[in-house]
Amino acid sequence: MSLPKRVVLAGNPNSGKTTLFNALTRSRARTGNYPGITVERRMGSLQVGDVRLQIVDVPGTYSLSACSAEEIVVLDEILPRQGLAPDLALLVCDASALDRHLYLALQVIESGVPALVCVNLIDEARDSGVSVDAAKLSAALGVPVALVSARTGEGMDALRAAIVATVAAPLRASVALALPVPLQAALTSIEAAVRASAWAKPGEDAARISALAKWALLSIGDDELAVPTALREAVESEREKQPDLDSMLIGARYAKVEELVAASVTRRSEERRKSERIDAVLTHPVLGLVVFLGVMTVLFQALFAWSSPFVDAIESLIGFLQSFLRTTLPEGALTDLLADGVVAGAGNVFIFVPQIAMLSLFIVLLEDSGYLARVAFVIDRVMGAVGLHGRAFVPLLSGFACAVPAVMATRTLENRRDRLITMLALPFMSCSARLPVYALVVAVVFPQGTLFHGFEAGVLALLSMYLLSVVTTLLAAAVLRRTVLRGPRPSLVLELPPYRWPEWRSVLRTVADKTWSFMASAGTLIAAITIVLWALLTYPRNEANETRFAQEIAAASDDGAVAELEHARSESRMQSSIAGTLGHVIEPAIAPLGFDWKIGIGLIASFAAREVLVGTLGIVYGIGEEEDETSVGLRDRLRHARRTDGTLLFTPLTGLSLMVFFVLAAQCMSTLAAVKRESGSWGWTIFLLVYMNVVAYVASLIVYQGGRMLGYV
């Protein structure tokens, strides 16, 4: 059987490409990443009659030109430097903005790849008085043109038929650009360099060579690409002779686009679009900020509060499953593995689903409606000050709820450097999992009524932690931008697309796609680490103790005594486990921060999730893991805990040091799994783990030792 023919879907951002892809492929699609970089590659299949075509959706772009590894994927889909060219390039354009969208289409058609121009959003264009003459445009371009509205389905049958017909009998277009003489001369020598390089195959056709030469002229210089040295030198030497080559080429293309538009597009009037009237309110100096704050509040509320019933339901389901396993299966290591390892591991993955789905839903709605671009527009001034892109705002804000969906939300950033900086800084945002830790510590060391210069000390401490988290996040972004992720001057190029009603099926599909892809990749890692952590906290067991506890429990007179003994058994098990040993091993390292080995076990266990610290302290202090941060028993136990030298362990200073550590440390494996997935690199993941923990250690050290020097204990 022969391979299915491949159709590549290319177009500007906001050309309605995703909706078109969804409409063409229905539910037959899967999302992957290009190897080594986190650029989404979506593939699906289109079935028309007995013809089955493979459809590839590439990232939206204004041009084939590239200066980074992630921008070059579009070139490689359309004019692959290795492998086979696609059977058809389906070029998606916004009917209302052909003046710009045809630039990319022209660039692809010039290269000689069989092409079909799909003029999308035709309904919207009609409403704003723009009409497109498909026959004239097709005649001028030399390739078929289809007018469609992927959203309403208008013209879609004709498009499917045109795709099948064009794939069966591809048309080679010949669009002639009027190139100035100096540019022609320069291109001739760059073409020679392309032909001599590894990019050219034997018997290569002239159109492809010429397209690669033009691409090189507009991409090389100021780039991070791996291109043949001779080609780079050819471009640089031509540019030295004639510095204006790029504007000549771009100018010649736009001159052609203007000609095409003049021949095929009529604008009834220059009436302002509906969107401009909406924007008069939504980007208004005062009202715009009010609406912005309102929308962000709702988003925040959704992440924090609306997802919590679902989270609670998943937690009770997990709890139910665990106790079900324990009661039906015989007591033993296998049951423990199933209940505390496997089920807990799966639970640690599912627990993120409500927030990820909620945030994905919000982002898709904001993006598809056009408001996400306005969010970036409104807040860019603030974000730009610390070297972040305006679009980084939503991921950062989401970091207050949970870093995992927030890291996934960095996908809305187009540039890899912007995305890395954002995902490496946002885990400092104080997420909701830190709150139970603060609550417990504050209750232990600053019970209500503890005043500091007349203010409630607990409230001040809590506020300071949130302030510390925000300041550190912004500082980290600024420092990363100037050090390890230094690069070309950050700039912002943003398009404010017309406001559109999101298309529900497309929205739900995107949410399902994102959630599923989290479970499939980051999820498996999270589940695996949960099982490893469980083993660390469980084994080895002290058999003598096990036998003794078993006998004592069997002999116990009442339920209270049994519970007491079970708590003692949990405590003893944890102490004899690898984590218990590790707690002792790391004690010398964490003693300068004011922590003892029991807190050390807590730090290790909280790698599963920060709030696990509370339950773990419950176990090591022998009162059971069912305790939460509001438990009076646990608070009392901690308040009276003593170090081996007899001094109190939980002084206000230890508490502050512990809270500062929890604000700053990268001790959440799920965040690391998400960063691994989104950065596509273990290197950056390990970098995050190391730098955050170093910052946390140093900060806690300064708090604890500085506090002692100032005379606090």
Partner 1 sequence: MSATRRLADLGVGETGTVHLVEGEGAFRRRLMELGLLSGTTVRVVRVAPLRDPMELEVRHASLSIRRADAMRVLLRPSEKVS
Cα 334 to chain centroid distance, Å, stands at 37
The DSSP element (H or E) to which 267 belongs, if any, is strand 265-267
Please select the residue that binds partner 1; options are 2, 181, 222, 240, rule is CB under 8 A.
222
Does 328 help bind partner 1 (rule: CB under 8 A)? no
Range 527-566, binding partner 1 (CB under 8 A):
none
- When the beta carbons of 284 and 640 are compared against partner 1, the nearer one is 284
Does 673 help bind partner 1 (rule: CB under 8 A)? no
Please select the residue that binds partner 1; options are 168, 281, 313, 382, rule is CB under 8 A.
382
- Segment near partner 1 (CB under 8 A); pick from 36-44, 57-65, 468-476, 566-574: 57-65
- When the beta carbons of 222 and 559 are compared against partner 1, the nearer one is 222
CA–CA separation, 611 and 620 (whole Å): 15
Long-range pairs of 72-79 with CB within 8 A, sequence gap ≥ 24: 72/225, 73/34, 73/37, 73/39, 73/41, 74/10, 75/215, 77/8, 77/10, 78/8, 78/10, 78/108, 78/111, 78/113, 79/111, 79/113, 79/208, 79/211, 79/212, 79/215
Does 225 help bind partner 1 (rule: CB under 8 A)? no
Size of the site for partner 1 (CB under 8 A): 47
- Segment near partner 1 (CB under 8 A); pick from 417-425, 444-452, 489-497, 633-641: 489-497
342 φ/ψ angles, rounded to the nearest 5 degrees: -70, -50
Task: Give the contact letters, 249-278, x = binds to partner 1 (CB under 8 A), - = no.
Answer: -xx--x------------x--------x--
Please select the residue that binds partner 1; options are 241, 277, 284, 640, rule is CB under 8 A.
284
Closest CA to 236 of 220, 225, 249: 220
- When the beta carbons of 415 and 473 are compared against partner 1, the nearer one is 415
Alpha helices (H) in 197-284, listed in sequence order: 206-219, 229-241, 245-264, 274-282
Does 683 help bind partner 1 (rule: CB under 8 A)? no
Does 223 help bind partner 1 (rule: CB under 8 A)? yes
Give the nearest distance from C-beta 113 to partner 1 in angstroms.
Answer: 19
- Segment near partner 1 (CB under 8 A); pick from 244-252, 303-311, 326-334, 693-701: 244-252
Give the nearest distance from C-beta 8 to partner 1 in angstroms.
Answer: 20
Please select the residue that binds partner 1; options are 62, 304, 516, 697, rule is CB under 8 A.
62
Does 111 help bind partner 1 (rule: CB under 8 A)? no
Crossing angle of helices 371-385 and 274-282, in 10° steps, is 40
- Segment near partner 1 (CB under 8 A); pick from 239-247, 335-343, 565-573, 601-609: 239-247
Q: Which residue has the tokens 């596509």?
A: 680
Q: Which amino acid is at 59?
A: P
Strands, E assignment, 24-114: 29-33, 40-48, 51-57, 88-94
Give the nearest distance from C-beta 21 to partner 1 in angstroms.
Answer: 22
C-alpha triplet 504, 508, 510: angle, nearest 5°? 115
Please select the residue that binds partner 1; options are 55, 97, 344, 590, rule is CB under 8 A.
97
Q: Copy the structure tokens of residue 82.
A: 């290795």
- When the beta carbons of 371 and 549 are compared against partner 1, the nearer one is 371
Does 286 help bind partner 1 (rule: CB under 8 A)? yes
571 φ/ψ angles, rounded to the nearest 5 degrees: -60, -45
Please select the residue that binds partner 1; options are 154, 495, 552, 587, rule is CB under 8 A.
495
Give the nearest distance from C-beta 279 to partner 1 in angstroms.
Answer: 7
Within a 10 A sphere around the Cβ of 315, how many other Cβ atoms? 14
Does 371 help bind partner 1 (rule: CB under 8 A)? no
- When the beta carbons of 40 and 224 are compared against partner 1, the nearer one is 224
CA–CA separation, 440 and 630 (whole Å): 7
Does 134 help bind partner 1 (rule: CB under 8 A)? no
Give the nearest distance from C-beta 155 to partner 1 in angstroms.
Answer: 22
Q: Which amino acid is at 411?
A: R
Please select the residue that binds partner 1; options are 169, 181, 493, 554, rule is CB under 8 A.
493
Give the nearest distance from C-beta 136 to partner 1 in angstroms.
Answer: 18
Give the nearest distance from C-beta 52 to partner 1 in angstroms.
Answer: 36
- When the beta carbons of 254 and 691 are compared against partner 1, the nearer one is 254
N-terminal to C-terminal alpha carbon distance within the chain: 77
Does 414 help bind partner 1 (rule: CB under 8 A)? no
Range 565-604, binding partner 1 (CB under 8 A):
none
Count CA atoms within 13 Å of residue 275 on its CB side.
Answer: 17
Residues 385-395 as b or e (16 or more Cβ within 10 Å = b): ebbbbbbbbbb
Give the nearest distance from C-beta 399 to partner 1 in angstroms.
Answer: 22
Task: Give just the sign of the alpha carbon dihedral 666, 524, 530, 443.
Answer: positive
| Residue 258: C-alpha distances to residues 132, 176, 261, 425, 647 (Å) | 14, 14, 5, 44, 81
Does 281 help bind partner 1 (rule: CB under 8 A)? no
- Segment near partner 1 (CB under 8 A); pick from 59-67, 360-368, 462-470, 596-604: 59-67
| Residue 544: C-alpha distances to residues 297, 564, 573 (Å) | 56, 19, 11
Strands, E assignment, 21-166: 29-33, 40-48, 51-57, 88-94, 115-120, 130-132, 145-147
C-alpha triplet 567, 573, 574: angle, nearest 5°? 95
Does 279 help bind partner 1 (rule: CB under 8 A)? yes
- When the beta carbons of 246 and 625 are compared against partner 1, the nearer one is 246
Per the CB < 8 A criterion, the answer to whether 405 and 669 are in contact is no
| Residue 506: C-alpha distances to residues 38, 57, 217, 512 (Å) | 22, 14, 38, 10
Please select the residue that binds partner 1; options are 378, 403, 461, 507, rule is CB under 8 A.
378
Please select the residue that binds partner 1; options are 202, 330, 381, 646, rule is CB under 8 A.
381
Q: Which residue has the tokens 């492809």?
A: 208
Please select the residue that binds partner 1; options are 40, 76, 246, 587, rule is CB under 8 A.
246
| Residue 614: C-alpha distances to residues 402, 549, 620 (Å) | 18, 25, 10
Please select the residue that binds partner 1; options are 37, 43, 67, 278, rule is CB under 8 A.
67
Give the nearest distance from C-beta 436 to partner 1 in angstroms.
Answer: 36
Give the nearest distance from C-beta 486 to partner 1 in angstroms.
Answer: 15
Please select the residue that binds partner 1; options are 34, 377, 428, 607, rule is CB under 8 A.
377
- Segment near partner 1 (CB under 8 A); pick from 95-103, 500-508, 513-521, 608-616: 95-103
C-alpha triplet 660, 666, 669: angle, nearest 5°? 135
Give the nearest distance from C-beta 254 to partner 1 in angstroms.
Answer: 6
Per the CB < 8 A criterion, the answer to whether 206 and 198 are in contact is no
Per CB under 8 A, residues contacting partner 1 are 62-63, 65, 67, 96-97, 99-101, 103, 218, 221-223, 243, 246-247, 250-251, 254, 267, 276, 279-280, 283-286, 288-289, 373, 377-378, 380-382, 384, 390, 488-489, 491-497
